[in-house]
Copies of this chain bind each other. A is one copy, B any other.
Amino acid sequence: MIISTKRGTPQEELQKIISGFEAQGLSVTLIQGTDYNVFGLVGDTTKLDEKIVAANPWVDSVTRVAAPYKKANRLFHQEDSVIDVAGIKIGGKEKIVVIGGPCSVEGEESTIEIAKAVKAAGGSMLRGGAYKPRTSPYAFQGLGTEGILDMVKAREITGLPIVSELMSEDRIDEFEEYVDLVQIGARNMQNFQLLKAVGKMKKPVLLKRGLANTIEEWIMSAEYIMAGGNENVIFCERGIRTFEKYTRNTLDLSVIPIIKEKTHLPIIIDPSHATGNWKYVESMSLAAIAAGADGLIIEVHPDPEHAWSDGAQSLKPDRFREVIEKGRPIAQVIGRNL
């Protein structure tokens, strides 16, 4: 950590600051400049709070040099982590995983039908929302437990592991029992209570990026889960909020090489929520594969016009199959299978 102090800071104040850090076991080097003095701290600074340091009125700025995350940090864990989701392996050089399914679960029959179509097209996992985060209290909020059980039924028939969003600590037992991959949604990326609770679960976690969060904040949310004991975290980019109006969000594919550089964890891409428009899903899926994503999560619905939510961004099963088929040779170019 680098701390600069203001012009004219008295010698005794500089000494007081130095003593304070040394008392915390850090070693301090002072660089005296013309208009500023700068301290460099060496040691474990992850527990230091920048804002507390900055509260000293003689301090001008505080810069963290070392990343604030440890368990997720590739610096301390060189090999890729491969996460096992009910037998499906995600990450490293494993096969690129494709997850398909409806935005909202709409009943047993339709869920089974979609699951079969996802499997037939080459998908290897089923997604579906039973608890839905909706901006309006008057909108459909999901089928709840019934929806989870519909997915369980579809898993029994197709063998596809299931992924669904957990919105509340209240439902942790239900998800621990039934769901294979527990999704934390974008709006809950910094719901720290929920992250702590999920950190105690045994099931792997799919951590979506918040709408306006930096990659560092996202990794820190993974760190929350890992610090709780659950190291099976998969990142999921689903677009960030920008000024653009022609898409629902802006898909940030540069997260793929960055997450792989900074952490050892896998990353998958959700082109459906990112663009909000089925017409852009194929090109963004192929781009994600070319950029090195470990997987895709795509909304699939046989009759998007009558889907209960987000039909505009859902692919029909035929188009979903096409995406997978076009993606295969691209995966091979970069040394992966799909």
A interface, CB within 8 angstroms of B: 2, 4, 7, 29, 31-36, 38, 40, 42-43, 46-47, 49, 51-52, 54-57, 60-61, 63, 65-66, 68, 75, 133-140, 167-170, 187-188, 190-193, 195-196, 211-217, 220, 223-224, 227-228, 240-247, 250-254, 256-258, 261-262, 274-276, 279-280, 283-284, 286-292, 304-314, 326, 329-330, 333-334
Q: Assembly of this chain: how many copies?
A: 4
Given contacts A46-B138, A65-B4, A227-B138, contact A258 B286 (CB under 8 A): no
CB distance from A303 to the nearest CB of B (A): 9
Contact B49 A309 (CB under 8 A): yes
With A135-B217, A212-B212, A214-B243 already in contact, 16 other A-B pairs whose C-beta atoms are closer than 8 Å: A29-B29, A34-B42, A46-B136, A57-B304, A137-B227, A167-B192, A168-B193, A215-B244, A240-B242, A242-B250, A243-B243, A246-B258, A253-B287, A284-B291, A286-B291, A329-B333
A215 to B246, CA, bound (A): 7
With A286-B291, A290-B287, A330-B290 as given contacts, are A244 and B252 in contact (CB-CB < 8 Å)?
A: yes
Once the chains bind, are B40 and A38 in contact (CB under 8 Å)? yes
Which residue in B40, B51, B290 is a CB contact (below 8 Å) of A286?
B290
Tell me, in angstroms, the Cα distance from A241 to B217 when the chains sit together: 13
**Residue contacts A-B, CB under 8 angstroms, 25 given:** A2-B40, A36-B65, A46-B136, A47-B138, A49-B139, A52-B310, A55-B305, A56-B305, A68-B138, A133-B192, A137-B192, A137-B195, A137-B227, A167-B192, A169-B169, A191-B191, A216-B246, A242-B242, A251-B252, A254-B283, A284-B291, A286-B291, A287-B287, A289-B290, A329-B329
Contacts of A134 in B (CB 8 A): 192
Q: How many Å from the CB of A309 to the closest CB on chain B?
A: 6
What is the chain B residue whose CB lies nearest that of A6? Answer: B75
B290 pairs with A75, CB closer than 8 A: no
Partner of A254 from B63, B274, B326 at Cβ < 8 Å: B274
Which residues does chain B contribute within 8 Å of A252, judged by CB atoms?
242, 244, 250-252
**Contact between chains at A223 and B137 (CB < 8 Å):** yes
Q: Is the CB of B135 within 8 A of A220?
A: yes
Nearest residue, chain B, Cβ from A260: B283
Contacts of A326 in B (CB 8 A): 333-334
Chain B residues, CB < 8 A from A65:
2, 4, 33, 36, 38, 60-61
Contacts of A4 in B (CB 8 A): 65
- Which residue of B49, B212, B275, B280 is within 8 Å of A140 (Cβ)? B49
Report the Cα distance A326→B333, complex, angstroms: 7
Nearest chain B residue, comparing its CB with the CB of A50: B312
User: CA–CA, A92 to B191, complex, Å?
Assistant: 33
Q: B283 near A257 (CB under 8 angstroms)?
A: yes
